[in-house]
Structure formats: C-alpha cells, structure tokens
C-alpha cells in the first residue's frame, strides 16, 4: 500500500509549535524595537528642547543690565540656580529672570517691575518648566568664570557676583536612566558682554 503524502498529526503539531515559537519571538522583537524607537524619539525631542532652552538662556544673559531699582545685574549665581536682571522681551523694561532646577525640570521664572516707585514683587513671578528629564542630580548646571576665561579655566568658588563674566551651562538629559538610549549631555556657554569690566577675549 502506498503511503499518502502529507503531514501526520504528530508532524502537524510540531510545525504548529515551531511556528508559534517563531511568531512569539517575532512579536516580542517587534514590540521591543518599537518601544526603543519611541524612547529614542522622545529622547531626541527632550534633547532639542534642552538645546533651545540653553540658546534662549544665553540670549537673555547677553542682555543683563542694572535693574529698575539700580541693583546689580547679577542677583544669584549658584550651581543649580541663577537669577539676574535683563530686558528679555525688548520692551525697554528690565525683568527679574530666574532659572532653577526643580526635581527633573528646569524652571524659568520672570518678574516684571511694578508699582511706584518700580520694584520687583517676586510673589507675582510667572514661572514655567522649560526643560524636562534632567538628570544632573547634585552636579552643577551652571559654572561661573572670570573675564580671563579661557586662559583661566578655574571655576569661581565661592562665586563673586562682580567677577562673573562667563557662564557655562550643562544639562544631562535622559528620559529613562534604566533603559536605552543613553543620556545626552547638552552644553552651552555665554559671555556677559554688558559687564565689560575685566572682560577677556570673546569666546563663542
């Protein structure tokens, strides 16, 4: 008797089992790949927002000037907080500007002068988060130098407000430290050209 062509029940079960294993592995791979792509996209967006924030911060600091009350342009220069006076919206009014790390977010606060005579009521500050997923921890965001930078690359410590002429910014961005992709370091700097005393060579 001739054996009929085709799969036996046992062979069919083996084929189904192997196919199931392959399909399960493929689905898991695609899910993992898709998740990594989404994380990579979100990481890229966070990096771009951080870069844009640092550019805006640099532009604001180039406009530092004495406040409407006559106070010195620089108010607070700390590793994770900076406060200064500047005309950031070209309205010929000098605002009080604050950038500060709060948890994993960089906060931008602006206080407009008000009253007669004009003063800054910090309770009226308008603030918003301008960058997220910041993983600096205890590492500084702001590092301060004299006008002799880059010849003198010694950071000011403690910080003398009248000596600060150059500021470096550093943000460590990571949407999920436990997962790929790795953290991204975003760095920028600015020279306070409106504070010309002891200003060294211009550094871009």
175-192 average pLDDT score: 91
pLDDT for 27 beyond 80: no
Residue ranges of domains in the chain: 27-191
Token duo for residue 193: 């050209």
Structure-derived torsion over alpha carbons of residues 117, 72, 95, 123, reported in degrees to the nearest 10: -70
Task: Map tokens 């918003």 to a residue.
Answer: 128
Name residue 137's beta-bridge partners: none
Strands 126-131 and 105-111: antiparallel
Contacts of 61 (CB under 8 A, 6+ apart): 84, 86, 167, 190, 192
The model's confidence at residue 9, banded by pLDDT at 50, 70 and 90, is: low
Task: Map tokens 């930078």 to a residue.
Answer: 149
Write the pLDDT tens digit of every residue in 30-59: 555 677 788 888 888 999 999 999 999 999
Tally of helices (H runs) and strands (E runs) in the chain: 1, 10
pTM for the full predicted model: 0.79
Structure-derived torsion over alpha carbons of residues 204, 70, 98, 64, reported in degrees to the nearest 10: -10
Q: What is the mean pLDDT of the chain?
A: 87
Beginning with the edge strand found earlier in the chain, give each strand of the sheet holding 142-145 in spatial order. 142-145, 166-173, 184-191
Helix%, strand%, coil% for the chain, nearest 5: 30, 30, 45
Task: Map tokens 């392959």 to a residue.
Answer: 22
Report the pLDDT value the prediction gives residue 130, as an integer from 0 to 100. Answer: 96
The residue that leads in pLDDT, 24 or 156, is 156
Report the pLDDT value the prediction gives residue 196, as an integer from 0 to 100. Answer: 66
Query: Dmax of the chain from CA atoms?
Result: 112
Cis peptide before 181 (omega within 30 of 0): yes
């Amino acid at each position: 008797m001739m054996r009929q062509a085709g799969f036996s029940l046992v062979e069919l079960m083996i084929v189904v089992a192997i196919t199931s294993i392959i399909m399960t592995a493929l689905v898991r791979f695609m899910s993992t790949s898709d998740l990594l792509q989404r994380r990579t996209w979100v990481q890229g967006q966070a990096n771009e927002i951080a870069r844009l924030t640092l550019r805006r911060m640099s532009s604001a600091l180039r406009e530092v000037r004495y406040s409407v009350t006559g106070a010195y342009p620089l108010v607070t220069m700390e590793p994770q907080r900076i406060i200064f006076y500047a005309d950031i919206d070209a309205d010929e009014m000098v605002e009080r500007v604050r950038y500060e790390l709060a948890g994993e977010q960089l906060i931008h606060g602006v206080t407009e002068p008000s009253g007669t005579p004009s003063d800054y009521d910090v309770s009226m500050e308008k603030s918003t988060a301008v960058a997220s997923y910041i993983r600096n921890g205890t590492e500084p965001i702001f590092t301060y130098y004299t006008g002799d930078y880059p010849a003198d690359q010694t950071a000011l410590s403690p910080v003398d407000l009248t000596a600060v002429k150059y500021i470096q910014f550093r943000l460590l961005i990571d949407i999920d430290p436990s997962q790929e992709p790795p953290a991204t370091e975003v760095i920028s700097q600015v020279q306070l050209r409106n504070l010309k005393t002891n200003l060294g060579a211009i550094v871009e």
